[in-house]
Amino acid sequence: MNKDLSKRLEALREQIRHHEYRYYVLDDPEIADAQFDQLMNELKRIEAEHPALVTPDSPTQRVGGKPREGFLKAPHSSPMLSLDNTYNVDDLRKWEQRVHELAGREDIEYVCELKLDGMSLALHYEDGKLVRGITRGDGTVGEDVTLNVRTVRSIPLSISKEKLKKAGIPADFEVRGEMLIPLASFKKMNEDREAKGLSAFVNPRNATAGTVRQLEPSITAQRRLDYFAYSLLQNGNTYFERHWETLKALDAAGFKVNPARTLAANFDELWAFIQKEETRRETLPYEIDGIVIKVNQTSLQRELGFTGKAPRWAIAYKYAARAGVTKIEDILVQVGRTGKLTPVAALTPVFIGGTTVSRATLHNMDEIERLGVKIGDSVEVERGGDVIPKITRVVDDEAHPRGKKLFHMPEKCPICGTHVVRTEGEVDYRCVNVNCPAKLRESILHFASRGVMNIDGMGDALVNQLTDRGIVKNIADVYLLTEAELLKLDRMGEKSAQNVLSEIEGSKKLPLERVIFGLGIRFVGERTAQFLAEHFGSMDALMNASENELIQVNEVGPRIAKSIAEFFQEPKNRELVDQLRKAGLKLAGAKKQRGTKLAGKTFVLTGTMPRYSRDQAKKMIEDAGGRVAGSVSKKTDYVVAGADAGSKLDKAKELGVSVIDEKAMEELLGKP
Ligand code: IVH
What's the pLDDT tens digit per position in 590-618? 666 566 778 778 899 988 888 888 878 88
Residue of 650, 606, 657 lying closest to 628 (CA atoms)? 606
CATH topology of domain 410-592: DNA polymerase; domain 1 (1.10.150)
> Which residue of 281, 292, 313 sits with most ligand 1 atoms within 8 Å of its CB, as the best mutation to test the pocket?
292
State residue 637 phi and psi, 5-degree precision: -90, -45
Give the pLDDT confidence score for residue 91 in this predicted structure: 94
Give the pLDDT confidence score for residue 67 in this predicted structure: 45
State residue 667 phi and psi, 5-degree precision: -65, -45
Cα 113 to middle of ligand 1, angstroms: 9
Q: Kindly report the three-state secondary structure assignment for every residue of 24-87.
A: HHCCCCCCCHHHHHHHHHHHHHHHHHCHHHCCCCCHHHCCCCCCCCCCCEEECCCCCCCCCEEC
CATH topology of domain 602-669: Rossmann fold (3.40.50)
Give the pLDDT confidence score for residue 64 in this predicted structure: 61
d(CA 68, CA 661): 18
Residue 30: count of CB within 10 angstroms of its CB: 11
In words, the CATH class of domain 2-61 is mainly alpha
For the chain, residues with pLDDT lower than 50 are 67, 386
Residue 371: count of CB within 10 angstroms of its CB: 16
Give the pLDDT confidence score for residue 24 in this predicted structure: 87
Residue of 519, 516, 523, 517 lying closest to 196 (CA atoms)? 523
Q: Is 421 in the pocket of ligand 1 (CB under 6 A)?
A: no
Q: Is 180 in the pocket of ligand 1 (CB under 6 A)?
A: no
d(CA 314, CA 305): 10
Provide the Cα torsion 443, 465, 477, 587; round to 10°: -40
Beta-carbon contacts of 559 under 8 Å, excluding residues fewer than 6 positions away, are 523
Helices within 372-459 (DSSP H only): 437-448
Q: Which of 115, 188, 340, 439 is catalytic?
A: 115
For atom 23 of ligand 1, the residue with the nearest CA is 82
**139: which DSSP letter?**
S
Question: How distant, in Å, are the alpha carbons of 105, 176, 302, 584 from that of 299?
Answer: 14, 19, 5, 71
Contact between 381 and 323 (Cβ < 8 Å): yes
Ligand 1 atom closest to the CA of 310, numbered from 1: 2
CATH topology of domain 322-395: OB fold (Dihydrolipoamide Acetyltransferase, E2P) (2.40.50)
Q: Is 286 in the pocket of ligand 1 (CB under 6 A)?
A: no
Residue of 618, 613, 659, 620 lying closest to 636 (CA atoms)? 659
For atom 2 of ligand 1, the residue with the nearest CA is 81
Question: How distant, in Å, are the alpha carbons of 305, 310, 425, 470, 506 from that of 497?
Answer: 66, 60, 46, 18, 14
Q: Is 113 in the pocket of ligand 1 (CB under 6 A)?
A: yes
What's the pLDDT tens digit per position in 464-513? 899 988 899 999 999 999 999 999 998 888 999 999 999 999 999 999 99
Q: Is 115 in the pocket of ligand 1 (CB under 6 A)?
A: yes
Beta strand pairing status for 638-641 and 602-606?
A: parallel
Q: Is 115 a residue of the active site?
A: yes
What's the pLDDT tens digit per position in 197-229? 666 777 788 889 888 887 777 766 677 899 999
Give the pLDDT confidence score for residue 355 in this predicted structure: 67
CATH topology of domain 85-268+282-318: D-amino Acid Aminotransferase; Chain A, domain 1 (3.30.470)
Q: Where are the domains of the chain?
A: 2-61, 85-268+282-318, 322-395, 410-592, 602-669
Q: What predicted TM-score, i.e. pTM, was given to this entire model?
A: 0.60
Cα 290 to middle of ligand 1, angstroms: 10
d(CA 378, CA 245): 50
